[in-house]
Structure 1
Amino acid sequence: MSQDAEIAELEERYDTDYEIGEDNIHPFGLDLHNPVFLWSAILIAVFVIGSMLFPDVSKTSLTSARDWVINTFDWLFLSAGNFFVLFCLALIVLPFGRIRLGGQDAEPEFSRMSWFAMLFAAGMGIGLMFWSVAEPVGYFTEWAGSPLNVAGGTDAARTAAMGAVMYHWALHPWAIYGVVALALAFFAYNKGLPLAIRSVFYPLFGDRVWGTLGNVIDTLAVVATIFGLATSLGFGAQQAAGGMQFLFGIADSLMVEILIITGVTAVALVSVVRGIDGGVKLLSNLNIMLAGLLLLFVIVTGSVTGFFASLGTTAAGYAEYLLPLSNPIGREDDTFYHSWTIFYWAWWISWSPFVGMFIARVSRGRTVREFLTAVLIVPMVVTAIWMSAFGGNGLDQAVNGVGSLANGITDSSLSLFHMLENLPLAGVTSFLAITLVLVFFITSSDSGSLVIDTITAGGKTEAPVPQRVFWCVAEGMIAAALLVVGGAEALSALQAAAVTTGLPFTLVLLLMCVALLKGLNHELQLLRFEEKSAKAAARA
């Protein structure tokens, strides 16, 4: 076979007549991939209206479904999470690592600092703000269940608490995000397919991904994303309102929570209209600067030596408990295992279409090795530092009987403020913490709107502005409506629905790994063939 025929055969494997925008409709200036938008809207409307009209029934039924999924398929969630970590680490060291997203001549669109900032802001910045004190102190005092049934209040409990926190927030969740993000970026930038979840499965199902199968996959991604964003925005408003009551004495009321949602949505709207460069990137960079200032302040004023001691405990705990906590067989710590680890895994997986697609959008020009190293290793290091500073100070206060944390966790949404009130300038730092919480929610809202916008436009990354505005406003309206009609019960029902979608998406992600491996192998063959041809031409 000639060289031209060989390379043509390789490239033909990904030939497709699918055009982004085909069969789209264009009412009111929108650009919609009709089946995905229609079915997503119907499912979202049914869940939201049902949760508003029957909040107690919805919560009971959806919570039961969530609990059944978590308790029945705990082994699947944990085993899949372990596989995703090993899969990503393998890709870093294998020859696939030198493949560049967008082709070997592609250049990154964003600086490394802006890129890291956007990864974190979309991924889990808000979670680190909320749980950095509550989770380790909760494990230490057995308020939230004890990892592997380690007795609370002991030195071993402190090590176990920090190890468990790292287990939940470091390699495993980012490997889940990394698989989705890498697959989306690779098939969009290297194979020229639409930036949509369905595109990843082209090596497995061929042109069938442009039909009903692909519509189902993309619709599930939209529903999971909007559910996750709306519930997070609603609960975030309640958390921010609680912080304002703690700091300023402003009564935590429904009106305050609605005003917070309105304000967050308004700022997110401006960011969405401005796009990634003019909106999301600026807010993400602002987030990182403010978070860095708060982190430095907590380290210096809390105790520099105490921070390094806590960092050592965190690293030791992660190394000691990584494998035991990854074991799904014969677990006896049922409360911790199901209520925390498996819940987290289902939540990360349900959020992976949103976070993965956003990471893919900002990662063109990176090599597979650079991409996965940044997505896995950098967050692990930053998380260790962050948790050691905030969680370490919280544990010190709990152990030494200082402040409210001496009594354990009484309100998880206020635990960060309880820790900060025992450091200097508590008013300033608490205000900064509230600001960070709100800005993190804004970046989640605007990046989520961009992602949903892309999916419902059939994979376009530059859909009309009115469509972005629609999704951004929809998130805020859903969260506000649920709070007004059903309160926390309705939000819990929607959150349970989002977590339940983690089960089908676990299977989707496992198939995604197979498809990605096939695609990367194809790309590596092309790359080696081109290098071989270039060397032959140079010799001639």
Structure 2
Amino acid sequence: MAELSRYRSMLKTKMNPRVFWGASLIVGLLLALAVAAPGESDRLFQAAQGWVIDTFGWFYIAAVAGFLLLILFLALGPTGALKLGPDDSEPDFPYVSWLAMLFAAGMGIGLMYFAVAEPIQHYASPPEAQPRTFDAAREAMVITFTHWGVHAWAVYALVGLSLAYFAHRKGLPLTLRSGLSPLLGRRINGPIGDAVDVFAICGTLFGIATSLGLGVSQINSGLNDLTGLPNTPWVQVGLIALVMACATASVLTGLDKGVRRLSELNLVLAVLLMLFVLVVGPTGFLLKALVQNFGLYLDHFFIRTFNLYAYEPRGWMANWTLFYWAWWIAWSPFVGMFIARISRGRTVREFVIGVLLVPTGFTFLWMTIFGNTAVNLDMGVAAGAIADAVTADLSTAIFRFFEELPGAAVTSTLAVLLVAVFFVTSADSGSLVIDTIASGGADDTPRWQRVYWCSLEGLAAALLLLAGGLGALQAATLVAALPFAVIMILLAAGLVRQMNADLAGRAVETEGPPLSEQLKRILSPANRRDIDRQLDQAGAPALETVRAALSAEGLEAEVAREATGLVLTATGQNGPTFHYRLAARGRPRPAMTALDAPEKRRAMEWRLSAYSDAAGRARDLTGFTREQIVADVLEHLRLWRMG
């Protein structure tokens, strides 16, 4: 019996079957195509990429620019004061610790792979300047800063803000579909919500597979440089299997604390490596270059944000900017969920400023130290050797760079180790995020489910490498990100709508009617005719507005007139009935002196009272406008739903 119980526990599931198996089917079909016809699949991926770029390249550029403008608006406007949690919640982590975790989130395989490769390649083959000139060097750093700057983190911030807001403040599951609840209501639990989560999983999985492909090609190049290990696709597949085995072991044996400590050590080693390059490289030049690079970045910000080379088309856009924008979109559920989990209790303004500026600042420092040192060496002692190596194979860039500095064997070994650990932690964390989405937000899923997604990530990276190398991986990422970019626009619309509704509810609680109306109530209390007029002109339209919205969400709702006012009734499919009443309530005016008439003979003053099944006491809405009454109904509905 004990053995049977153990096997049952191993086979138990906690998933949304439609999402879990739907995403698995889509990924499986694409991988089957890669295995059955590697050459044809490569051509298919490349053709799909070409079609997406020609048809929707403008859409990627406009969408990312829009995401950046939107989150800045949310941070700097009245919504910036809203908290990612209840209004009285406190941050889960101290400010410095939270910033440190954002700093860690900015590190990864990409920075190791592109720190030297991207600036050098733009320097050697710039889109506009003459190759291998000072103008090319300046342009290279501006382009690199643009690709790794606030645009990337705006994409992450939007998804993270939506996840955090609806999970921590509204109490919904930590999954992408929750962000669509203001637009779709309960329909998020149906096929539309399932499709959103399936697209999120596919985009995340192919984004991670792309990073794994980049990482394993760099590990292979490093080992080839250090030990002579052949640099071939099958060797890279073997390396993927080895590293994914380590990631799987961390899932099976519960080595979360060990992996976390290893990640922290990895971060320290990365910083030490960066400081080493700063010290042994042209230190004074690098510090000046950092300031100038940032100035050039600001100067070219709007041009680079919206530039599509529409008048002089070139393939450079597909290989760089459009690929990056698609990569950030594909990775956004992964990074967004990480930063959402650690940000409970922060205000929207704190969240956006921290997420945009902290990782970006470190990335600019990293790219300047590695990129400008590489360009400086290539224009000097290396005499073009680094640029030639990068042109031949991007994955060899950082190792050819280290050969021009002291201690090349040590730094190259350290670089291989850094990439390998980033590889392990990305795969492990990625499998957790994907499993959370596939399980409807659950965070205590069976281990086999995480192992399943971990294995599928490695399999996708391996098969796509065999199908067409990094070109196929990049093409698959760019295509997979297209539907999720549309989903992100819907997430943005849902977030804005919910935040505006919460602001309106807060205004009802804190402001009430205008000051003139409050003075009128004090100096000349309302009579029954005033309350009846408010019921007809504000109360009835407000309840009818909410009734229509509830009916559109599939709930049975009606507004009825009672002897003293109005009642809104809503009934869910399987839930209890909600009642919200607006009623005229009268009471004798208070006695001012002992000579006033007895209570029964005093003049009456009237109030418009609101109460529901969810509220503990009635609220005075005398003088409230239609919009304020609507906000009060929504607040009662929220309390009813939570209760």
TM-score, scaled to structure 1: 0.87
Q: Which is richer in strand?
A: 2
1:221-266 deviations in Å (ceiling 9; x for gaps): 1111122223432342222011111123233355643442233223
Q: Which residue of 2 aligns with 1:151?
A: 130
Residue 171 of structure 2: SS of its match in structure 1? Answer: coil
Name the CA shift for 1:523/1:379 in 2 (closer, same or farther; >3 Å): same
State how far apart, in whole Å, the 2-side matches of 1:473 and 1:105 are.
42
Q: CA deviation at 1:117?
A: 5.3
Name the CA shift for 1:234/1:132 in 2 (closer, same or farther; >3 Å): closer
Task: Say whether residues 1:76 and 2:59 are aligned partners.
Answer: yes
Q: CA deviation at 1:178?
A: 0.6
1:65-115 deviations in Å (ceiling 9; x for gaps): 111111221211111111111112222211222222122333444455654
1:9-33 deviations in Å (ceiling 9; x for gaps): xxxxxxxxxxxxxxxx998122110
State how far apart, in whole Å, the 2-side matches of 1:476 and 1:303 are.
40
Q: CA deviation at 1:57?
A: 0.6
Q: 1:304-315, aligned counterparts within 5 Å?
A: 304-315=283-294
> Which 10-residue stretch deviates more, 119-128 or 460-469?
119-128
Name the CA shift for 1:211/1:174 in 2 (closer, same or farther; >3 Å): same
Q: Which residue of 2 aligns with 1:238?
A: 217
Q: Whose RCO is larger (CA < 8 A, sep 6+)?
A: 1
Residues 240, 438 of structure 1: 8 Å contact kept: yes
Q: Which residue of 1 aligns with 2:149?
A: 170
Equivalent position to 1:102, from 63, 79, 85: 85
Sequence identity percentage: 42
Task: Say whether residues 1:412 and 2:391 are aligned partners.
Answer: no
> Which 10-residue stretch deviates more, 282-291 or 76-85?
282-291
Residue 167 of structure 1: SS of its match in structure 2? Answer: helix
- The one-letter code sitting in structure 2 at the alignment partner of 1:207 is R
State how far apart, in whole Å, the 1-side matches of 2:94 and 2:481 are.
33
Task: Say whether residues 1:252 and 2:221 are aligned partners.
Answer: no
- The one-letter code sitting in structure 2 at the alignment partner of 1:260 is L
State how far apart, in whole Å, the 2-side matches of 1:220 and 1:492 are.
21
Q: CA RMSD in A?
A: 2.6
- The one-letter code sitting in structure 2 at the alignment partner of 1:246 is D
Q: CA deviation at 1:326?
A: 1.9
Q: 1:337-376, aligned counterparts within 5 Å?
A: 337-376=317-356
Q: Which residue of 1 aligns with 2:425?
A: 443
> Which 10-residue stretch deviates more, 329-338 or 169-178?
329-338
Residues 245, 252 of structure 1: 8 Å contact kept: yes
State how far apart, in whole Å, the 2-side matches of 1:157 and 1:490 are.
29
> Which 10-residue stretch deviates more, 57-66 or 493-502?
493-502
Q: Which residue of 2 aligns with 1:53?
A: 36
Equivalent position to 2:382, from 381, 402, 414: 402
Q: 1:106-505, aligned counterparts within 5 Å?
A: 106-112=89-95, 115-116=98-99, 118-119=101-102, 122=105, 125-142=108-125, 146-147=126-127, 149-253=128-232, 256-272=235-251, 278=257, 281-328=260-307, 330-332=310-312, 334-402=314-382, 404-405=385-386, 407=388, 409=390, 410-482=392-464, 487=466, 489=468, 492-505=471-484
Between structure 1 and structure 2, the one with the greater Rg is 2
State how far apart, in whole Å, the 1-side matches of 2:78 and 2:259 are.
33
Q: CA deviation at 1:154?
A: 2.6
Name the CA shift for 1:241/1:471 in 2 (closer, same or farther; >3 Å): same
State how far apart, in whole Å, the 2-side matches of 1:48 and 1:231 are.
14
Q: CA deviation at 1:37?
A: 0.8
- The one-letter code sitting in structure 2 at the alignment partner of 1:449 is S
- The one-letter code sitting in structure 2 at the alignment partner of 1:126 is I
Q: CA deviation at 1:34?
A: 0.9
Residues 52, 490 of structure 1: 8 Å contact kept: no
Name the CA shift for 1:69/1:451 in 2 (closer, same or farther; >3 Å): same
Q: Which residue of 1 aligns with 2:636?
A: none
State how far apart, in whole Å, the 1-side matches of 2:402 and 2:483 are.
41
- The one-letter code sitting in structure 2 at the alignment partner of 1:442 is V
Residues 31, 464 of structure 1: 8 Å contact kept: yes
Residue 154 of structure 2: SS of its match in structure 1? Answer: helix
Name the CA shift for 1:334/1:491 in 2 (closer, same or farther; >3 Å): closer
State how far apart, in whole Å, the 1-side matches of 2:352 and 2:419 are.
27
Name the CA shift for 1:278/1:101 in 2 (closer, same or farther; >3 Å): farther
1:137-182 deviations in Å (ceiling 9; x for gaps): 111111xxx24x1222332222111011000011101101110110
1:182-213 deviations in Å (ceiling 9; x for gaps): 00111111111111111100001111111010
Q: Which residue of 2 aligns with 1:515?
A: 494
Residue 334 of structure 1: SS of its match in structure 2? Answer: coil
Q: Which residue of 2 aligns with 1:29?
A: 12
> Which 10-residue stretch deviates more, 199-208 or 105-114?
105-114
Residue 320 of structure 2: SS of its match in structure 1? Answer: helix
Q: CA deviation at 1:48?
A: 0.7
State how far apart, in whole Å, the 1-side matches of 2:245 and 2:163 are.
29
Task: Say whether residues 1:86 and 2:72 are aligned partners.
Answer: no
Q: CA deviation at 1:494?
A: 4.7
Residues 67, 155 of structure 2: 8 Å contact kept: yes
Q: CA deviation at 1:320?
A: 2.4
Give the number of equivalent residue pairs. 504
State how far apart, in whole Å, the 1-side matches of 2:94 and 2:259 are.
14
Name the CA shift for 1:118/1:480 in 2 (closer, same or farther; >3 Å): farther
State how far apart, in whole Å, the 1-side matches of 2:314 and 2:408 are.
37
Name the CA shift for 1:136/1:234 in 2 (closer, same or farther; >3 Å): closer
* Structure 2: gaps of 5 or more residues: 1-7, 513-517, 519-643
Name the CA shift for 1:46/1:439 in 2 (closer, same or farther; >3 Å): same
State how far apart, in whole Å, the 1-side matches of 2:334 and 2:396 are.
28
* Structure 1: gaps of 5 or more residues: 1-24
- The one-letter code sitting in structure 2 at the alignment partner of 1:446 is D
- The one-letter code sitting in structure 1 at the alignment partner of 2:80 is G
Q: Which residue of 1 aligns with 2:26?
A: 43
